[in-house]
Amino acid sequence: MDVLPIALKLTGQLCLVVGGGAIARRKADLLVQAGAILHVIAPDVLPELVQLAQTSGGLVTLASYSSDHDLKPYRLVIAATDDPAVNSQVFEESEALNILVNSVDDPPHCRFMIPAIIDRSPLVLSVSSGGASPVLARQLRSKIESLIPEKFGELAKFSGDWRPQVKAAIVNPNQRRIFWENLYASTIGEQVLNGLRAAADAAMPKVLADWQANAQQQGEVYLVGAGPGDPDLLTFKALRLMQQADVVVYDRLVSAPILALVRRDADRIYVGKARADHAVPQEDINQLLVRLAKEGKRVCRLKGGDPFIFGRGGEEIEELVASNVAFQVVPGITAASGCSAYAGIPLTHRDYAQSVRFLTGHLKEGSPELPWDELVYENQTLVLYMGLVGLRNICKQLIAHGLREDMPVALISKGTTPDQQVIVGTIATIADLIEGQHVPAPTLTIIGEVVKLRDKLKWFE
């Protein structure tokens, strides 16, 4: 994060705009809307800018800026002249006094930037590029503005008016947050958005009383598939539940960019498992989910890929069912689909493969016991999860059971991410090709004629 977005209270604060043209007027208008007392200094000042200053209780000085002008009384200064030397001077003198200063369209001479603003007061949203691309920020503002009804400001006012009563009635902050989230999605939220504020106010006492009567509400578990690594592959539902959970219990295979999308104040519990190194045993994970839910928390169990494809999601929800804990399951794009697509290898193709099988190479006792005879079929694609360590043995078994030695193989490391690597060989050579190489996990192995298509279809690279 290059800049820290903040909301600055300027009501009754002295603010200075150096400059009297159209750009200065636009910046001054924002300051006055925020309640600032506006002072302007410039040799020529637009009449509208003069009126803004007078309306705010400020004044206009018709003179060129000089070091004689005392900056100490000001909370904030904006340099908006067409003279870079003057803007630079204003910046340096403000910096020396630790006064917040902005030189318009000159990021190196800005201590703060004025973002593109969506005003639904008291709800105010802003979009900033840190001065790198103001036009892009304004375009994003337009997109966001179309999604937020004007009445959202009324909903914010309603929340502010009822906040003291809700805080007194619901002491636990987590429960209080859940109360508000549920309220916004309820009939009361719709009443406020439809202008029926009196009806919403009348309904609130009963809603609060009902909540207190059921204060020991049990939580819920969201079993969410995070996909193979690219955050753009998350489903809308996955993202929504990730951002409303109180606790996120996540695996090693959940990528950092995806983890960054969970709610910022949610507790995060790492239970990642690598080969022969389980941070938390599966049984303990199962019990952890039950305990957290029974504490009234909304728990996001975030798993790489799809939780029901070699993700042990079935084991976890069996425990939730046995413990009478509510849950939802959100499928994710499994590694087979995501990694093969990003590697340019279709899993099925009319000319090469009419079926596909998903296999795990990471079974108990470290030795995969697979139905080898069933796997040796010419027009079939095999997709092997977690098979890196046992790959040489798997290849030997397939050859021993009749798979031809020149069958193409692709090993995909960290698929769908910027660090994706693809190593292509045959069933007879792939183990030798990776011997001595550091191939980062997670990996996926694709065996079949479809691998030949990669040279033509590798769009991601």
Domain boundary among 278, 301, 333: 333
Residue-wise pLDDT for 380-396, tens only, equals 999 999 888 889 999 99
Q: Do the domain assignments include residue 7?
A: no
Q: Do the domain assignments include residue 229?
A: yes
Q: Do the domain assignments include residue 120?
A: no
Query: Is residue 246 a contact partner of residue 174, using CB atoms and an 8 Å limit?
Result: yes
**What is the Cα Rg of the chain in Å?**
30
Interatomic CA distance for residues 461 and 451, integer angstroms: 16
Residues in the annotated binding site for S-adenosyl-L-methionine: 228, 304-306, 309, 334-335, 386, 415
Interatomic CA distance for residues 402 and 398, integer angstroms: 6
> Are residues 97 and 32 both part of a single domain?
yes
H/E element holding 96?
helix 84-96
Question: Which one of the listed residues 251, 297, 303, 414 is annotated catalytic?
Answer: 251
Where does residue 3 rank: exposed (0-12), middle (13-18), buried (19+ CB within 10 A)? Answer: middle
If one counts every other C-beta atom within 10 angstroms of the C-beta of residue 390, the result is 19
> Are residues 445 and 341 both part of a single domain?
yes
Where does residue 75 rank: exposed (0-12), middle (13-18), buried (19+ CB within 10 A)? Answer: middle
340's tokens = 């093969």
Q: How far is CA 435 from CA 363, 366, 390, in A?
A: 22, 19, 12
Instruction: Give the per-residue pLDDT at 274.
Output: 59
93's tokens = 């003198």
Interatomic CA distance for residues 444 and 413, integer angstroms: 7
Mean pLDDT by 10 residues, the chain (461 residues): 88 96 95 96 95 94 92 96 94 96 92 89 87 87 84 92 94 85 87 92 93 75 95 93 93 92 93 66 93 91 94 93 94 96 96 93 63 90 90 92 96 95 96 90 94 95 81
Strands 408-413, 421-426: pairing kind: antiparallel
Q: Do the domain assignments include residue 4?
A: no
Residues in the annotated binding site for NAD(+): 22-23, 43-44
Instruction: Give the per-residue pLDDT at 364.
Output: 52
Exposed e or buried b per residue across 306-336, where buried means at least 16 C-beta atoms within 10 angstroms of its C-beta: bbbbbbebeebbebbeeeebebebbbbbbbb
Q: Do the domain assignments include residue 98?
A: yes
> Are residues 241 and 185 both part of a single domain?
no
Residue with tokens 């999308």: 261
Interatomic CA distance for residues 115 and 102, integer angstroms: 12
Q: Could you confirm whether 251 is annotated as catalytic?
A: yes
132's tokens = 């790198």
Interatomic CA distance for residues 37 and 28, integer angstroms: 10
Domain boundary among 299, 333, 367: 333
Expressed in angstroms, the distance from the first to the final Cα of the chain is 28
Q: Give the single-character DSSP code of 115.
A: P
> Are residues 356 and 432 both part of a single domain?
yes
**401: nearest Cα among 380, 372, 429:** 372
> Are residues 203 and 271 both part of a single domain?
no
Residue-wise pLDDT for 96-120, tens only, equals 999 999 999 898 999 999 888 888 8
Residue with tokens 């104040």: 265
H/E element holding 412?
strand 408-413
Look at the chain and count its residues: 461
Instruction: Give the per-residue pLDDT at 1.
Output: 77
Question: Which one of the listed residues 157, 273, 294, 452 is annotated catalytic?
Answer: 273
Domain boundary among 333, 367, 391: 333
> Are residues 296 and 343 both part of a single domain?
no
H/E element holding 257?
helix 256-259
Apex 345 CA angle, 343 and 346, nearest 5? 135
Interatomic CA distance for residues 335 and 227, integer angstroms: 7
Instruction: Give the per-residue pLDDT at 144.
Output: 86
Q: What is the CATH number of the domain that holds 65?
A: 3.40.50.720
Q: What is the CATH number of the domain that holds 306?
A: 3.40.1010.10
Interatomic CA distance for residues 293 and 270, integer angstroms: 17
What residue type is 280 in one-letter code?
Answer: V
Query: Is residue 25 a contact partner of residue 56, using CB atoms and an 8 Å limit?
Result: no
Residue-wise pLDDT for 280-317, tens only, equals 888 999 999 999 999 888 999 999 999 999 989 999 99
Q: Could you confirm whether 406 is annotated as catalytic?
A: no
Half-sphere exposure of 257 (CA within 13 A, CB side): 12
Instruction: Give the per-residue pLDDT at 217.
Output: 66
Instruction: Give the per-residue pLDDT at 182.
Output: 85
> Are residues 392 and 437 both part of a single domain?
yes
Residues in the annotated binding site: 22-23, 43-44, 228, 304-306, 309, 334-335, 386, 415
Q: Do the domain assignments include residue 145?
A: no
Q: What is the biggest distance separating any 2 CA atoms in the chain, rounded to whole angstroms? A: 93
> Are residues 288 and 255 both part of a single domain?
yes
Angle between helix 197-213 and 152-169 (nearest 10): 30
Query: Is residue 172 a contact partner of residue 295, using CB atoms and an 8 Å limit?
Result: no
Q: What is the CATH number of the domain that holds 355?
A: 3.30.950.10
What residue type is 362 in one-letter code?
Answer: H
- Structural domain for 42, as ranges: 14-114
Instruction: Give the per-residue pLDDT at 50.
Output: 95
Interatomic CA distance for residues 8 and 10, integer angstroms: 6
Strands 443-447, 408-413: pairing kind: antiparallel
> Are residues 348 and 452 both part of a single domain?
yes
| Whether residue 346 has a cis bond before it, omega within 30° of 0 | no
Q: Do the domain assignments include residue 291?
A: yes
Backbone phi and psi for residue 227, each to the nearest 5 degrees, phi listed first: 80, -175
> Are residues 90 and 173 both part of a single domain?
no
pTM for the whole thing?
0.71
Q: Do the domain assignments include residue 136?
A: no
Domain count for the chain? 4
